[in-house]
Amino acid sequence: MAKKPDKCLCAFCRLERRIYRKKHISPTNILLAMITSLAVMIGVWQAVDARVLVVFVFCLAISELFIQIRWRLTLACPFCGFDPVLYVKNPQEAASRVRVKLERAKEGTALLSVHNPWTHLAPLTKKSRRNILSELELAKEKGDSTSLPSAQI
């Protein structure tokens, strides 16, 4: 039977949402493609025919395509617009999409909604100059260049 979507939290706005974890076809999908291709073979040619393999491969390709599209569309958060796949590939583009989605939410009626992304955002904390200098001094004492603030950028 069809697996229901799993619940998870958005990495950005911390709102609960549903995603499909299944990325590729399973043996059940292969069996259903085989049954479909056999039914098409009997319906069209009324006999065993080798062309059924083309129909079988076509059914497999279509099912893989739909499962991957469904997985990819459910990854982006519907509330804040954060997309983890896009963030891995291009963080600036992901940030701009989140910014646009949050501005739309701020202007619209989403502020009154239960799924308001603005209520769950973590506050921005900026490191003071004193904290950065103390981290720099500690890193110099240790001799570790990877813990320097410039190495983290």
The predicted-structure confidence for 16-54, as pLDDT tens digits, reads as follows 888 988 999 999 999 999 999 999 999 999 999 999 999
The predicted-structure confidence for 51-103, as pLDDT tens digits, reads as follows 999 999 999 999 999 999 999 999 999 888 899 999 999 999 999 998 898 88
Residues 6+ away with beta carbon under 8 Å from 81: 97, 98, 100, 101, 102
CA dihedral 76, 32, 37, 65 (to 10 degrees): 10
Neighbours of 20 (CB within 10 A): 16
Q: What is the pTM of this model?
A: 0.65
Residue 146's pLDDT band, with cuts at 50, 70 and 90, is low
Residue 76's nearest CA partner among 94, 91, 63 is 94
Q: Note whether 25 and 60 are within 8 A (CB).
A: yes
